[in-house]
Amino acid sequence: MSTLDSNIYVPYEFETPKWGTIIDMHCHTTESDGAQSPREVYEHAKQKWISVFAITDHDKITRHPDFPAWVQNDGQLILEWVEVSARYVRGDYRKSLHIPVYGLALRWDIEDILTGVRRGKAEKVQRQCEQLRKNGCMITLPDNRVVPFSFDAMQLCFPETQEDGFNNAHLVELVLRHRDNMRKLENLAPWINEKNLLREGFKSEWRYRREISLREKLPEYEPTIEELMETIDRSNTIVSIAHPNYTFRTVEEFMMQAGYILSLGPNAIELNSTATRPWYDALETFRDYQAESYSPGFIRTYGSDCHDLYPAKPDNRHSLLWDMNPHIDTVDNIIAARFIRNFTLRRSSHSF
């Protein structure tokens, strides 16, 4: 066993690990908007023989104090890093990108960015709760009491989530949990329906302000993608673009923006578990072009974006922890796993 630091352990015999060759570098816990604790997620990964496993909570590095002991006992490669929210704006075109960042120890200025994002997000969610209350929305508590929508009531529904860990997903779940909420929102704006809410939630606040006034205009709290990429030392981290098949509505839309995104210097792109064959082919083209033009070490990362190990109702976006994209074969997994092992061992003596 090679101990790199308190957060990551790499088996020397990674070519033939006692684990499988399943890779999942994108999942969430109760540290952000996941349904299970870090310990539960880790134990589930172990049961499913996942050999490369990363917890990428939203805008928060999950450093559970027991991770080193668990990993040392089990001989699993684990990366416990972060999915950073970033603004992508080009003229009138704007997107909220999710950028998984993997490393041994992220620099203090990244921590500053994450702290700012969490504070801004918490303020936004609190104001959204107030606006939902004003529009008559209710929350069904765990004891089945029904109370007006509020941030305090939200905290009672998710007791393990810290105050700065709440986000859009918590709002959507609570709105949909009470049967009358959607009727009230649909009466305010007909285009607000369950399908749109599950896809976009309350992220497009500039659209909702006119009909529902979900929040006042807040200062931008997410860094731009340019600011984030300038801060990250890409020689010592893996920087990926998460689930482009979620973020962009079509392959064509993604490819129209891909050139500029490539120029910013990410060194990986994620193939999500639910990506279709056209997305697989597009990301292969993206990867090959990036490797030739910008970053010779450019790779694909793989992720389920698992938020719940035991979902009551699949949402066709977030898979189960062990789910792999059907277009990936074992060779893909071994190549990526080998790269990640070499990447971490090669940089173990560096300061990130």
Residue 76 has pLDDT above 80, yes or no: no
For the chain, domains (ranges, CATH) are 2-107+233-346 (3.20.20.140), 122-211 (no CATH)
Non-local CB neighbours of 190 within 8 Å, separated by 6+ positions: none
pLDDT digits (tens, 9 = 90+) for 336-352: 665 565 555 444 443 32
What pTM was estimated for this model as a whole?
0.80
pLDDT band at 143 (very low <50, low <70, confident <90, very high): very high
pLDDT of residue 84: 94
Non-local CB neighbours of 61 within 8 Å, separated by 6+ positions: 80, 81, 82, 106, 111, 114
pLDDT of residue 105: 64
Judge contact between 172 and 198, C-beta under 8 A. Answer: yes
pLDDT of residue 13: 37
pLDDT digits (tens, 9 = 90+) for 311-334: 766 666 778 887 878 877 655 555
CA 98 from chain center: how many Å? 6
pLDDT of residue 72: 60
Q: Where do runs of H (alpha helix) occur along 148-224?
A: 151-157, 168-177, 181-188, 194-200, 205-211
pLDDT digits (tens, 9 = 90+) for 234-284: 666 788 999 999 899 899 999 999 889 888 888 888 888 889 999 988 888
